[in-house]
């Protein structure tokens, strides 16, 4: 799967989880940049990404996730 396909799928997930149909992701985006991104929505987002791509994050993977670009890179490495 190409990076652009991953970005598009993750964007759909973010828009659904954070109930923001106009949300546009960028690699440097963090939780501080999304109004509804808190600990609960973070867990929902992680679970939705796992379900969409068919894998489970390991704790070491989750610890790497500081911004959206990190998430995309970890997903890319799992596929």
At 31 the pLDDT is 94
What pTM, to 2 d.p., does this model score? 0.92
**Residue ranges of the alpha helices (H) in 1-79?**
3-17, 39-53, 59-64, 68-78
Summarize pLDDT for 17-72 with one digit per residue, the tens: 999 999 999 999 999 999 899 999 999 999 999 999 999 999 999 999 999 999 99
> What is d(CA 30, CA 37) in angstroms, rounded to the nearest whole number?
9
CA distances from 23 to 2, 8, 27, 55, 74 (A): 21, 11, 13, 24, 21
């Amino acid at each position: 799967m190409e990076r652009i396909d991953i970005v598009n799928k993750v964007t759909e997930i973010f828009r659904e989880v954070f109930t923001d149909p106009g949300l546009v992701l960028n690699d440097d985006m963090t939780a501080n940049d999304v109004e509804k991104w808190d600990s609960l929505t973070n867990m929902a987002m992680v679970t939705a990404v796992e379900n969409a791509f068919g894998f489970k994050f390991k704790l070491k993977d989750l610890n790497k996730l500081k911004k959206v670009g990190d998430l995309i890179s970890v997903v890319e490495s799992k596929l």
